């Protein structure tokens, strides 16, 4: 049974494959995160229940994403700043990770389907010292979006632990058009779970 951790204002709490967003100190309890948000769950402070039990943080309470830049799996420069103005799905994955393989095809499908809506995907590949293994993963799943190569997980340490747990792989953060973290999910996600969350954020003014 999933266990949610109470979050401070505007914080994200990581809990057993689910991240809940709290907008106040009296935010969500464990029951809100079960089964993608139980009927009658509390949607106070403008939150919207969305993918895999995550909630969208009210725009006024969102935190800026840290600066992320480096090389992709082919050694080319890539970074988050160049995607400003787009909704960004930031997915943390490793070629050794079973749940990452389970979600990869759905993420690629969704990246193609939502591109016209101003959504971009960016991966962070961790714990793969050999880029060849990561590139094999990308080829096997026909992934077209770039990934930062971060074998030691150093980029993840730029996020507060309550926002992104470096030990929770895969993890996905959704960043709004102004570069602020709007939602987070721990564990594998499907296209159907993520699509309504992206539609909401894509519809927000930039």
Domain boundaries, the chain: 12-56, 63-202
CATH domain 63-202 topology: Glutaredoxin (3.40.30)
Q: What would the mean pLDDT of 32-47 be, rounded to a whole number?
A: 32
pLDDT, one tens digit per residue, over 158-174 is 997 777 888 889 999 99
3-state secondary structure 148-178: EEECCCCHHHHCCCCCCCCCCCCEEEEECCC
- Six token digits for residue 205: 């003014």
What is the four-CA torsion angle of 49, 55, 58, 61, rounded to 10 degrees?
A: 160
State the pLDDT confidence band at 115, using cuts at 50, 70 and 90: very high
Give the count of alpha carbons within 13 A of 144, CB side only: 9
Q: Which of 87, 93, 62, 80 is nearest to 187 (CA)?
A: 93
Query: Taking the model in full, what pTM does it have?
Result: 0.76
**Angle of helix 131-140 relative to helix 98-113, nearest 10 degrees?**
60
Q: Which of 31, 23, 42 is nearest to 2 (CA)?
A: 31
Strands 77-79 and 180-186: unpaired
State the pLDDT confidence band at 75, using cuts at 50, 70 and 90: very high
Give the C-alpha separation, 191 to 69, whole Å: 26
Q: Is the pLDDT of residue 188 over 90?
A: yes
């Amino acid at each position: 049974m999933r266990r949610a951790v109470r979050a401070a204002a505007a914080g994200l709490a990581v809990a057993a494959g689910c991240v809940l967003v709290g907008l106040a100190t009296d935010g969500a309890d464990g029951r809100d995160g079960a089964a993608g948000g139980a009927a009658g769950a509390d949607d106070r402070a403008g939150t919207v229940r969305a993918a895999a039990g995550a909630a969208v943080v009210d725009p006024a309470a969102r935190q800026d994403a840290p600066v992320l830049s480096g090389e992709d799996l082919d050694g080319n420069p890539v970074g988050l700043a160049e995607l400003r103005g787009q909704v960004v799905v930031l997915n943390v994955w490793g070629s050794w990770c079973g749940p990452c393989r389970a979600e990869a095809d759905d993420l690629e499908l969704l990246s193609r389907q939502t591109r016209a809506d101003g959504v971009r995907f960016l991966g962070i590949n961790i714990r793969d010292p050999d880029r060849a293994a990561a590139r094999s993963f990308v080829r096997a799943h026909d992934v077209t979006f770039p990934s930062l190569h971060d074998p030691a997980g150093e980029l993840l340490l730029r996020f507060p632990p309550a926002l992104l747990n470096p030990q929770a792989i895969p993890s996905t953060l959704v960043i709004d058009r102004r570069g602020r973290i709007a939602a987070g999910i721990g564990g594998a996600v499907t296209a159907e779970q993520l699509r309504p969350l992206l539609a909401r954020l894509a519809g927000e003014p930039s």
